[in-house]
Structure 1
Amino acid sequence: MKVKISMAQIRCITGDLQGNTERIVEGIQKAIDDNADIVLFQETAISGYCCGSLFNQAHFIDYNIKFLEKNVVPMVPDNLVVVVGFVDKNGTNRDGYPELFNSVAVIQNKKIVGTYNKMLLANGSHHEDRKYFTPGAFSKVFEVNIRGEKIKIGCPICEDVWFHEHNEDIVQRMKSDGAKIILCPNQSYFYYGKQEVRRKLFSEQAYKNEIPFVAVNSVGLGDLTKNIIIFDGGSMAFDQYGNMVAKAKSFSEDFVNVEFDLEFDKNKKTTSNPDAISDAMRNVWFDKCEEIFNALVYEQKELFSLLGFKKAQIHMSGGLDSSVVFPILVEAMGKENVIAISNPTKCNGDITKSNAQFICDALGVKLYWNSMEEPYNALVSSFEKAFNEEPSSGAKASMQAVGRTVQGLSASHLFGSGIVATGNHSEIVLSWSSFHDIGSIGVHSIIGDLTKMEVFEMAKYINKRFKKEIIPINLLDFSMPPAAELPDAKYDPFDYWLVSGICAEIIRERKDIQDLIFEYQNKKLNTEYFPLYPDGRSIYETINEEQFIDAVDMCFKKSQSSVFKAAQSAPIVMISPRSRGFSSRETIINFYAGAYEFVETKMIELNVKKLRSHIAVE
């Protein structure tokens, strides 16, 4: 028996019940026009996924159900099956809020055949399923009519299929209950490499259960106030032998039809899961930098469209970070919609000012020069009159850095533009920014989840992508070191080949002091986080153990003390599994020392340098 399935990968907007429903109805009509047997939409397709407090509003939940019943169900003919995610309810909890289920509805012939409630609720990183939803009690399959024949389908929801991370295998259960095909709606968020993770997971599910597997993912943005989350699409379909037979576009709405022969031929099954990507699918996979660039371009364009900003504003220092952000903005918004401003003082050198002009000229964007020198001098003078003494170098640095924010906000009113923060992950964790400086405030922090080393790699990629020198070579050949160019710091005081990796391990991987020192001693540090130095030497050849321990101690302490700053900076766009912000759940008050030793019944804080004698070396 053959079955034609439409993967309806639609844009999903948080809380836009009417707009999301209209896009679902359009998808249904498209499936009818294409003579599909089944059309699959994403998880929580009507409400959106990152709804936060909306999930506590009873009327919002009621409206989402009414849109399903009044607008979607009547559109489904008898020769089409619709599988769509929504939020269902069952009365009210003791706290007065409705008891909710993350659910999927199976619809045919203008009737709801049945609903299934997600059993395995995601709770890691930014996920809040367990906060708002009650887990489903049992799995189920649905009997539907396909071209006059009755077949059973299973509809696990997103986390339900991640059997490696749970003690239950919902897909296997549905197969045992008679399912002939698995239709999986998702709201699976993006991080670099995530599509490959999904591909391997879905392929394994299809292969080991000998069942066709179709997964539709959402495309759009979500947020949890301090993090912007990208839903990247890339919906996939696999035959019962584990082969990927169709894939939707990434970072775009798409509608893909795929046909399956449900008969299983054991002679077609290989002795091991086909892990390699077929030649037909190879062109849809990107390398890391390309994937990140495309994701950030999509996020920039989508976020500003949703918030009503037609122009993006960036403050160009001539350093690496703003130089990398700038081409992303131009690609997303068009050069005519990018406002570039430089706010120099006497602390800024000719090289960085020249760099700022060079990159703007390379992409055809006017660079506005709005000097900070005169306002800075006025601030110094005002300070001296008020307190009868000269401000410290740190105070002067804050005057310049935060003064640029005042200039930037003023310009944003003139141009009607949204400011884009340019700080990177390493600087944010190390607190290498002034309170509310122009590099940390704005609509969003677009590279705030990229380490300094990843920013370097992105710069190289950008020049390759544009096939010319966009990022000045002096920022890539290390002849121009990272430079704050402020009164208290001409150059950045960090070895970024060392500290960016440590910061990434602390935030993304939840490593602590002892973990990192152990990995250094055993030469097990993640080479992606700790790349070779420019001279080709490894971190073990460049940094001795005492230097490494000092750096870990410094990064660990700064990661704790900088949380209050990060909490008040621009929301960070997530491109890794766990980002600083809501995703990492760090606390402003944190007195954990990182290491202790115990003597009888007394406990003392352990000097981090003593750890070498306390951590076993394999």
Structure 2
Amino acid sequence: MQDLTLVMAQLDPLVGDIPGNTDSAIEAVREARLEHGADIVVLPELFLTGYPPEDLLFRPSMETRLRHARTRMAEKVVRDVMVIVGYPGRREGHTWNLAGVLYNGEWLDEYAKQALPNYLVFDERRYFTPGSRPLVIEHKGARLGILICEDIWAEEPVKQASDAGAEILLTLNASPYHQDKPAERLALFEQRARDVRLPLVYVNMIGGQDELVFDGGSACVSREGELRVQAPHWEVGLMPVQFVRENGRWEPRLGETQPEVEPEEDLYAALVTGVRDYVNKCRFQGVVMGLSGGIDSALSLAIAVDALGADRVHAMMMPYHYTADISKDDAAEQARLLGVGYDVLSIETVVEAFNESLAKSFAGTLPDTTEENLQSRCRGVVLMAISNKKGLMVLTTGNKSEMAVGYATLYGDMVGGYNALKDVYKTWVYRLARWRNAQSPAIPERVIDRPPSAELAPGQEDIDSLPHYDVLDAILVRYIEGDMSAEAIIEAGFERDDVYQVVKLVDRNEYKRRQAPVGVRVTRRGFGRDRRYPIVNGWQPGE
């Protein structure tokens, strides 16, 4: 009976840091050999550049830097271990998304990704030429069929590898997360394994990159499509898979697998990962944020603390005339609960100074949303001043429901470098807040129970100008993620006035969203690279 140890290297590269990523790869192989006796180590898609490298691929020195990286790997990687790693490559006048095979100091072959995704957040046809041939390489008696990410979602590359004699399928991945994606992905791998009656190993990236987050969950399924080994989601690490050859076939032994988690836990981990990696990879010392006593800023503060630690988070309460006493009390209580730095700075004199300066220009007009927005913009100025002085990134706090309908102030509460909740609907904000409190006290319960309000006018509540959030979010999901027409949403059972109010607000506020900070993408279709609507257009909602 033969055996083979394959190690899935679930790592977090930094886009563009080719030397640093190369060092990580070399160290991962050394550790995999030392701790697990690895015969094969598989790293994620485009690992040496990080994913997605985007227009860095057009830089003239890209290929030179990658050649140096591959030379260094050939010199430094421990012997008697086959390494399969992803990187881009310029070959014969074309750029390819490649998986290279390294063994005992020699690069044996390269596989070019065949299925290039060009939808939602993916734009690979802008950069790469599709491959056309399978690659099956033998190592220690096993014939390994190599694939890259989208190749698994398409049927033909899998069939090609099987027809070429593969006994084990290996796929390198940079598969970004959205809600429900891990289960969908695993179900697909199980089906592909059953289709060709071969075990399949899936190695995914981990960590955050701008708006994208990668959840890991690297796994191996048997030829019957049964999960045999799975690495943790949201954790960097090495996960071994033991293969044995029995009755002429390679079979993965049952190893460590992961229990199912609540959807709130999975989503919360995605948000923490996105904030942590954005702040750390951009080398910010920490974050500063406005703490209003409302639920969005409360949840954002908890995420920031869990991502960075309390010592790197500073909260500011910036009250004005309409700020309720309970908002002040709840903000102070949450800052105490989480142990963050906390200051109270009234914006009253700042707002009054602006009003006095603008009095002549505003003569003959009545107070309206202009004065309300001025309060928010004064808070933005304060936060940006602290950011500049102390080197702290401003973490902004608006949720997806608000960003969808424009319930936010340009250069006010939209000010910031990153937004943890940008792609989180308001109904999910409440679910996450309750889940986080169930782990340990983090948000005063009164914050969760109170009706939401911007507190820019006396007695103001969000439902004064918007449908209830359960209705609003249900319409938004259908319109934004489902691309349903207004009439189709009405036919699904929603009030005509509500639907047309919401879709008109969404369309009208595209200009605001283009000026909003980047944030973690966690739904099937976020406000970012996967939803591109023109700001200036004459389209009318309806059919």
State TM-score, norm by structure 2.
Answer: 0.94
Note if contact 1:65-1:87 (Cα within 8 Å) is conserved in structure 2.
Answer: no
Once the two structures are TM-superposed, the CA of residue 45 in structure 1 deviates from its matched residue by: 0.9
C-alpha distance in 2, partners of 1:157/1:129? 13
What does residue 480 of structure 2 align with? Answer: 507
With over 3 angstroms needed to count, the CA separation of the structure-2 counterparts of 1:410 and 1:489, relative to structure 1, is: farther
What does residue 526 of structure 2 align with? Answer: 579
What does residue 549 of structure 1 align with? Answer: 496
User: In structure 2, which of residues 218, 227, 235 is the aligned counterpart of residue 235 of structure 1?
Assistant: 218
C-alpha distance in 2, partners of 1:434/1:389? 24
Structure 2 unmatched runs, 5+: none
Once the two structures are TM-superposed, the CA of residue 112 in structure 1 deviates from its matched residue by: 2.0
Once the two structures are TM-superposed, the CA of residue 346 in structure 1 deviates from its matched residue by: 0.4
C-alpha distance in 2, partners of 1:503/1:489? 26
C-alpha distance in 1, partners of 2:221/2:243? 9
What does residue 81 of structure 1 align with? Answer: 82
Describe how 1:113-124 pairs up with structure 2 within 5 A. 113-124=108-119
What does residue 72 of structure 1 align with? Answer: 73
What does residue 300 of structure 2 align with? Answer: 325
| 1:134 is the counterpart of 2:129 | yes
Structure 1 unmatched runs, 5+: 93-98, 270-277, 521-544, 597-618
What does residue 299 of structure 1 align with? Answer: 274
With over 3 angstroms needed to count, the CA separation of the structure-2 counterparts of 1:377 and 1:264, relative to structure 1, is: farther
User: In structure 2, which of residues 139, 143, 166 is the aligned counterpart of residue 145 of structure 1?
Assistant: 139
User: In structure 1, which of residues 481, 489, 493 is the aligned counterpart of residue 451 of structure 2?
Assistant: 481
What does residue 414 of structure 1 align with? Answer: 389
Describe how 1:271-310 pairs up with structure 2 within 5 A. 281-283=257-259, 285-310=260-285
C-alpha distance in 1, partners of 2:273/2:452? 28
| 1:179 is the counterpart of 2:154 | no
What does residue 369 of structure 2 align with? Answer: 394
SS where residue 82 of structure 1 aligns?
strand
What does residue 405 of structure 1 align with? Answer: 380
Note if contact 2:230-2:256 (Cα within 8 Å) is conserved in structure 1.
Answer: no
The one-letter amino acid paired with 1:476 is: I
Describe how 1:359-378 pairs up with structure 2 within 5 A. 359-378=334-353
State TM-score, norm by structure 1.
Answer: 0.83
What does residue 471 of structure 2 align with? Answer: 498
The one-letter amino acid paired with 2:139 is: N
With over 3 angstroms needed to count, the CA separation of the structure-2 counterparts of 1:303 and 1:384, relative to structure 1, is: same
Note if contact 2:43-2:172 (Cα within 8 Å) is conserved in structure 1.
Answer: yes
What does residue 527 of structure 1 align with? Answer: none
Per-residue Cα deviation, 1:560-580 (whole angstroms, up to 9, x for no partner): 111111111111210112101
Q: Percent identity?
A: 26
C-alpha distance in 2, partners of 1:419/1:39? 40
What does residue 20 of structure 1 align with? Answer: 21
C-alpha distance in 2, partners of 1:411/1:264? 68
C-alpha distance in 1, partners of 2:459/2:476? 21
Range with bigger deviation, 11-20 or 47-56: 47-56
With over 3 angstroms needed to count, the CA separation of the structure-2 counterparts of 1:49 and 1:376, relative to structure 1, is: same
| 1:258 is the counterpart of 2:230 | no
| 1:154 is the counterpart of 2:145 | yes
Range with bigger deviation, 170-179 or 389-398: 389-398
What does residue 222 of structure 1 align with? Answer: 209
| 1:247 is the counterpart of 2:230 | yes
SS where residue 351 of structure 1 aligns?
helix
What does residue 535 of structure 1 align with? Answer: none
Once the two structures are TM-superposed, the CA of residue 282 in structure 1 deviates from its matched residue by: 4.7
With over 3 angstroms needed to count, the CA separation of the structure-2 counterparts of 1:593 and 1:263, relative to structure 1, is: farther
With over 3 angstroms needed to count, the CA separation of the structure-2 counterparts of 1:509 and 1:62, relative to structure 1, is: farther
SS where residue 412 of structure 1 aligns?
helix
SS where residue 295 of structure 1 aligns?
helix
What does residue 439 of structure 2 align with? Answer: 465
Once the two structures are TM-superposed, the CA of residue 329 in structure 1 deviates from its matched residue by: 1.1
What does residue 615 of structure 1 align with? Answer: none
SS where residue 492 of structure 2 aligns?
helix
What does residue 45 of structure 1 align with? Answer: 47
| 1:593 is the counterpart of 2:537 | no
C-alpha distance in 2, partners of 1:104/1:264? 30
C-alpha distance in 2, partners of 1:102/1:500? 38
What does residue 540 of structure 1 align with? Answer: none
The one-letter amino acid paired with 2:146 is: C
C-alpha distance in 1, partners of 2:145/2:77? 19
C-alpha distance in 2, partners of 1:55/1:121? 15
SS where residue 147 of structure 2 aligns?
coil
Structure 1 segments, 4+ long, off by >6 Å, are: none
What does residue 32 of structure 1 align with? Answer: 33
The one-letter amino acid paired with 2:75 is: P
Note if contact 1:77-1:108 (Cα within 8 Å) is conserved in structure 2.
Answer: no
The one-letter amino acid paired with 1:490 is: Q
C-alpha distance in 2, partners of 1:392/1:41? 60
C-alpha distance in 2, partners of 1:571/1:265? 52
What does residue 514 of structure 2 align with? Answer: 567
| 1:105 is the counterpart of 2:100 | yes
C-alpha distance in 1, partners of 2:256/2:237? 18
C-alpha distance in 1, partners of 2:398/2:451? 16
